[in-house]
Amino acid sequence: MRQISTLSEWRAATEDIRQSGQRVGVIPTMGALHEGHRSLIQRAIDDGTTPCVTIFVNPRQFNDEVDLHAYPQPLDDDLARCREWGVAYVLTPTIQEMWPSYPQATATTVQVAGVTEEFEGAGRPGHFDGVASVVTKLFVVTGPSTAYFGEKDFQQLAMVRRLVLDMGFDIDIVGCPIVRDDKGLALSSRNARLSPTGRTAALAISRALKWAADRPRTVDEIDHHVRAALIQAGIDVAYVAVVNQETLQTDIVDGSARVLVAGIVEGVRLLDNAPVVIRKDDTTCC
């Protein structure tokens, strides 16, 4: 495994992969790697691509300095995991390498409208502009490739797909299933900040989503049950929404939808989601 710290070296390395006849499989991360990331790397390997991981805690997607500084950055552990998991190249740039004017504002910002204004976009102003900007830069530097993203951050995945479509990047986007622990909690780097009591409370999210997904239900049934379950567990509900899986709007026309959930446990914002089938007799969705 080769660790790279500059964008010029990364550009050259990924081009060498293509010149050798291989496809680049890029897995953008912010580090604090866990089994969810491992599943993305394994998918890249299974697809026959050369797995290339980027590790960069992007300050432009944080609107809270406390949250930024609290974000775990165990780089040595991350590199050891990448080596163990079969990664070929790892990009670990400094903030100045990615954003030369930092901490001053960067002059260029990428904004994806339509799928970013609600949910995480509403609760975290500027977050998706920061994500779109760093993803765009990584895609430009990496070049033609297949990029792997987890479905846990479903709104982010929808945004990246829209970005690639609109900008015409030669990037194939692969969404990979959510990986959960043995009790059902969606794996997240933020979980490390939960106490045992907090982790127990957080399980209410996955239980409620499992209930919503186990049979066709109405939008109102899902909304009411999921909210009630979270509140009963002492979780501060940021939002519960049943949306079209592509547009993230309420234009559910074929019965296939996604329920998005964000809840705050012990000050930690947790995201989760699940595909659901909406009953046709629900006039609010059709």
Going 117 to 118 to 121 to 125, the CA torsion angle's sign is: positive
Q: What is the 3-state secondary structure (H, E, C) of 22-55?
A: CCEEEEEECCCCCHHHHHHHHHHHHCCCEEEEEE
SS3 category, 110 = coil
**Dist CA 132 CA 150 (whole Å):** 16
Q: What is the token pair recorded at 102? A: 């930092």
Q: What is the token pair recorded at 236? A: 């501060």
User: Among 34, 37, 69, 225, which one carries the catalytic annotation?
Assistant: 37
Q: What is the token pair recorded at 30? A: 């912010």
> Helix, strand, coil: what percent of the chain each, to 5?
40, 20, 35
- Residue listed under structure tokens 């705050």: 264
Nearest to 115 by CA among 246, 279, 265: 246
Phi-psi region of 263 (alpha: psi -120 to 50; beta: other; left: phi over 0): beta
Residues 6+ apart with CB under 8 A from 100: none
**Does the annotation mark 37 as catalytic?**
yes
Active site residues: 37
